[in-house]
């Protein structure tokens, strides 16, 4: 496998995703993965607070572009799907490239990304392009399109506003990010040596490991079978310090690796050497009614977070939260089937857990 650390794009990605911290809340942040809440480094919380502090003066100007629900993709995420950051050396150059897009190009990019994300399937990419083209040509259909999407009301309202003046909104966002940039750069420079060290070390480790190196370093959360690219760009993130993200929607896909992920995975490995604790964690997750029902849906072949949310009468964000915990508890895993990225039940782990349970309780 050919992995390559992209230092400059890592910086661009972090600035673009930084405004998500405008919604920072201590209790929510610490419980992003309740399985290992106690393992979250205190330093990540310190930086999250610093990022939030930087953004507070810009709060009202940021809210139309960055939504509180993680299921509602922000404007940058939508635009970067067809206008990726890979290949850019400076954040100013990337932002200028967005500012220079025509009205039709901006609208097509956002409509395409919205339709693609909402369809929840890779094979619908071509259909999404057709749908986006039609929406650009028939603006009277945009409101109906937005109403059908699985997004929050604030996202829906701001996207409708965007449809009427895309260049103005993108121009304002670019100017806003350029205002925030110098303050972020100061904080980033402090962590830059660590980011560079992690990027180089992770790349070397992945290149050196035999077999599925990605699965080994990520505790089975992400497998190389999910990757169909010739080269695998690695971005190391301080804005998203505990996140492991496989960005497949982009024209140039990449893997975002949180700067503290290695530390957390190492701590988890030490914990899991205690078999009883591993068993307790597994059954603790299955003891949650909603989480149990999510696994039942996955077992039946229902893999769309949107459909599972409808079945359980909760939001897609709630399902994503539970799926994240199920993955870290190894009850579920991400897989690729016919070009689609879906979650599956980890039958091997569950069967082993049942056998271990029989041994522990002396059951026949």
Given a cut of 80, whether residue 265 has pLDDT beyond it is yes
Contact, 205 vs 213, CB < 8 A?
yes
Question: Does 288 map to a domain?
Answer: yes
Which of 43-47, 149-153, 167-171 has the highest average model confidence (pLDDT)? 167-171
Sign of the Cα pseudo-torsion (346, 348, 351, 352, in order): negative
Inter-CA distances, 212 with 176, 221, 281, Å: 42, 12, 25
Whether 158 and 118 share a structural domain: yes
Mean pLDDT of the chain: 89
pLDDT, greater one: 317 or 12:
12
Given a cut of 80, whether residue 122 has pLDDT beyond it is no
pLDDT, greater one: 267 or 56:
56
**Mean pLDDT within 179-204:** 96
* pTM for the structure as a whole: 0.85
Given a cut of 60, whether residue 34 has pLDDT beyond it is yes
Given a cut of 80, whether residue 155 has pLDDT beyond it is yes
Given a cut of 80, whether residue 121 has pLDDT beyond it is no
Task: For residue 256, list its beta bridge partners.
Answer: 235, 245
Q: Give the integer Cα–Cα distance in Å for 116 and 290.
A: 27
Task: Give me the percent of the chain exceeding a pLDDT of 70.
Answer: 95
Range name among 45-54, 233-242, 273-282 with the lowest pLDDT average? 273-282
Q: Give the integer Cα–Cα distance in Å for 7 and 188.
A: 12
What pLDDT, in 10s, does the model give residues 135-145? 999 999 999 99
Question: Token digits for 219?
Answer: 């505790």
Whether 289 and 224 share a structural domain: no
Residue 141 confidence (pLDDT): 97
Whether 255 and 296 share a structural domain: no
Contact, 345 vs 296, CB < 8 A?
no
Q: Roughly how many angstroms between the first and final C-alpha of the chain, as a whole number?
A: 45
Whether 110 and 151 share a structural domain: yes
Confidence class of residue 26 from pLDDT cuts 50, 70 and 90? low
Whether 203 and 352 share a structural domain: no
Contact, 85 vs 5, CB < 8 A?
no
Paired sense of beta strands 254-258 and 332-337, if any: unpaired
Element counts in the chain: helices (H) and strands (E): 18, 6
CA 304 to chain CA centroid, nearest Å: 16
Show the domain range for 129: 3-261
User: DSSP letters of 273-293?
Assistant: TSHHHHHHHHHHHHTSHHHHH
Confidence class of residue 272 from pLDDT cuts 50, 70 and 90? low
> Which CATH number goes with the domain that contains 322?
1.10.10.10
Whether 336 and 219 share a structural domain: no
In the chain, the number of structural domains is 2
User: DSSP letters of 215-284?
Assistant: HHHTTTSS-GGG---SSEEEEEESSSTT-EEEE-SSSS-EEEEETTHHHHHHHHHHHHTSHHHHHHHHHH
Question: Does 269 map to a domain?
Answer: no
Residue 69 confidence (pLDDT): 78
Whether 109 and 195 share a structural domain: yes
**Mean pLDDT within 217-245:** 88
Q: Which are the contacts of 346, defined by CB distance < 8 A and separation ≥ 6?
A: 330, 331, 332, 333
Whether 13 and 91 share a structural domain: yes
Whether 227 and 279 share a structural domain: no
Question: Does 267 map to a domain?
Answer: no
Which of 105-109, 276-280, 284-288, 311-315 has the highest average model confidence (pLDDT)? 105-109
Scored b (16 or more CB within 10 A) or e, 219-243 reads bbbbbeebbeeeebbbbbbbbbbbb
Confidence class of residue 123 from pLDDT cuts 50, 70 and 90? low
Q: Which DSSP symbol is given to 180?
A: H
Question: Does 268 map to a domain?
Answer: no
Q: Give the integer Cα–Cα distance in Å for 98 and 197.
A: 31
Confidence class of residue 73 from pLDDT cuts 50, 70 and 90? confident
Question: Does 266 map to a domain?
Answer: no
Residue 280 confidence (pLDDT): 87
Whether 45 and 113 share a structural domain: yes
**Mean pLDDT within 35-54:** 84
What pLDDT, in 10s, does the model give residues 220-231? 888 888 887 778
Whether 144 and 25 share a structural domain: yes
Q: Give the integer Cα–Cα distance in Å for 244 and 312.
A: 26
End residue of a domain, out of 205, 234, 261: 261
**Mean pLDDT within 94-121:** 91
Question: Token digits for 195?
Answer: 């980011």
Question: Does 207 map to a domain?
Answer: yes
Sign of the Cα pseudo-torsion (95, 97, 102, 104, in order): negative
Given a cut of 70, whether residue 29 has pLDDT beyond it is no
Confidence class of residue 30 from pLDDT cuts 50, 70 and 90? very low
Confidence class of residue 251 from pLDDT cuts 50, 70 and 90? confident
């Amino acid at each position: 496998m050919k992995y390559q650390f992209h230092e400059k794009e890592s910086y661009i990605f972090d600035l673009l995703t930084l405004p998500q911290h405008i919604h920072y809340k201590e209790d929510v942040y610490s419980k992003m993965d309740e399985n290992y809440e106690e393992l979250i480094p205190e330093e990540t919380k310190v930086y999250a607070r610093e990022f939030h502090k930087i953004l507070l003066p810009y709060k009202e100007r940021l809210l139309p572009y960055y939504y509180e629900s993680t299921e509602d993709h922000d404007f940058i995420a939508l635009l970067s799907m067809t206008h990726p950051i890979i290949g850019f050396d400076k954040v100013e150059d990337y932002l200028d490239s967005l500012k220079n897009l025509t009205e039709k190009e901006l609208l097509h990019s956002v409509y395409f990304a919205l339709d693609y994300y909402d369809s929840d399937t890779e094979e619908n990419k071509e259909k999404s392009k057709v749908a986006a083209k039609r929406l650009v040509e028939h603006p009277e259909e945009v409101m109906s399109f937005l109403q059908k999407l699985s997004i929050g009301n604030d996202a829906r309202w701001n996207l409708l506003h965007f449809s009427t003046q895309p260049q103005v909104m993108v121009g304002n966002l670019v100017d806003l990010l350029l205002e925030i940039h110098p303050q972020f750069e100061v904080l980033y420079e402090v962590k830059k040596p660590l980011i560079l060290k992690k990027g180089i070390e992770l790349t070397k480790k992945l290149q050196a490991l035999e077999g599925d190196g990605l699965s080994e370093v990520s505790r089975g959360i992400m497998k190389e079978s999910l990757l169909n690219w010739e080269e695998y760009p690695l971005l190391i993130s301080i804005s998203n310090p505990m996140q492991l993200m496989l960005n497949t929607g982009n024209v140039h896909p990449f893997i975002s690796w949180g700067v503290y992920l290695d530390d957390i995975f190492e701590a988890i490995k030490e914990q899991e050497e205690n078999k009883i604790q591993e068993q307790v964690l597994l059954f603790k997750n299955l003891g949650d009614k909603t989480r149990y029902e999510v696994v039942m849906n996955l077992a039946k072949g229902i893999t769309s977070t949107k459909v599972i949310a409808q079945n359980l009468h909760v939001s897609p964000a709630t399902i994503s939260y539970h799926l994240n915990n199920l993955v870290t508890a190894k009850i579920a895993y991400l897989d690729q089937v016919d070009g689609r990225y879906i979650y599956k039940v980890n039958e091997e782990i569950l069967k082993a857990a049942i056998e271990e349970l029989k041994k522990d309780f002396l059951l026949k």
